[in-house]
Structure 1
């Protein structure tokens, strides 16, 4: 039975935000009104494993958030392998690539991001890839199977996760990061330095302030990268991990306000109140820092989906969710709660160590005496407790934090 246009909620996108919103709408009894349109020919699936476990074993498959029968039982109509190419706000209709048109009462854009590219590598090259989707991961896995020398452009989370995975498979890995340090958008300088030293100690060739000046191409393959310093790096596989660009073309064509993302308010509404946006494609006023940001994380996607669900079900609540992130890079388990102080901020850094374990510690960042961010390395209990402290606005004294004999859990108010 088709959903009346006066009631339908169309979700555009098949990532974590879309999956979480489907779950919320189903729980609210609105599954039968929901239509999910996924460009990929797959149900929404977990993406973090793509740069790690998925690359290690040929039998690994994308892990869906929920099986197809869950969507059927929830009454959610799923259109996979098709995409929205135009939004008609006046007629409240979307046109699909297949030519179909669907009417909507409320529209949610969860279009995510696309990999940033380099002009010199835009032509199809058989041994060059990025990593955003399952198809990219399948291609990279096949390339790595027959490769020995891997060059990765970009020292962010994705680039370093792939590097650690390839290194563990015995590949010769070189990472070129154009910025002065690794993970510059997501981590503090102190954490970046630790990660750099750890990877180098483990035998990876990681270079900062390093760019590719030219690419040697032969028979549809890149055979070498020439660095800005003139060094020639022969390779079998080239991975481009230089960041992501928000997918805003659809929103911009529809006249929605965009600026490095679709601008949304505290209820996830775009400049058209009947069109919401969630996930990596959005830019919003982050509640804890007051800064307008675009966050690329599973946590942000899930939390924004919950806020959007509240808006769609008529129980709107302003979005306030503590940002947190994680990255697994070989033997490094990085977990961050809150956002590092902006560059130039006069902050105080406190290091909490895990007894005699130099590989396990947490960095507590204070600004004007207020705890704003905690970065943990191989210290999951610190991370979980720190998230609670930050959510509650509790700023324990630095001299207490540095004392490993004091359990962080004991610093959480009893009432909480």
Structure 2
């Protein structure tokens, strides 16, 4: 079977529309997500400890975190569903039951602070023993973003792919089943580490592709044949998603270009997200507009590394951040908000302006997200938004007549 497994993994890696290529390898949003989701979890813990979490998933800091996870491509699609509060069933019972809520908060805090695999497994066992109704291994998707080398992602398609590949009968909803599945995945991943990754997102994506039938193996060929029409639609959908991602990347680079050009014209130093320096727009590399290094005195190196991933930053000549911009795509609103909040929490003086730059067709969605109580009432920062069409149309005029960041007041919008 070893040779068959190697061929299967190579096929998975070589498929340019597989989640390995479109999410795991070639996706800056995935790399940006780890710290922002981690900091989001910290806010969930604080809310639970301070009794400000509320009694519903909607509007909570947990919703922001889990929805940011769900934005991470197909592997995490539907990750939020398990956390929706279902009043008739009273599940998951972490909203109205204060004891369970506190236990969930302690679990997240312990997992956040744990430094060994043994400690993490012990926390899962303790949580499982509490038998909190409806709080199953969907939580592992949060744990993946805290400890990606210890916990594989978890959803229906991944479990299905796992059962097909390893001839198992793992069931959803059981922590014990998840831990059993995890052990087998770790053994497999270790054996084929040279083809996969220490980060368990790679093997999780492999199981997802098998479970959805995009990657055909002998164990799932019958299912694939029986659902040929469904599989064809799924492949067309994935192809469409890949094309749309390419279009969005192009728009994303264009907006970074306009913001960089405008910042320079206003007399600011500009920083372009570190992993975007080689991107091009209008035959110019974005890195040509950017500082070569982001100094930011008095900010720790670990925090600086996160700030360096923000799409565009304007700085004055004293190296103070004047404006921070996150350019949104179809799957990054929550993640962008979390990154801006992450930056705001590091600022000693609240003089920085924060902006989401968004496609026109997403204006209603942007407004709805910024009106969430957990965002609207936050003291960390106030976020305005700018539409693509207005930045594109008015950039030249602002470059010519603007004197400072205040020129953006003409095109930026606030909610509430």
TM-score past 0.5 threshold: no
State the TM-score bracket (shorter-chain normalisation): under 0.3
Q: Report which of the two has the higher share of helix.
A: 2
TM normalised by structure 2 equals 0.28
The structure with more strand, counted as a fraction of residues = 1
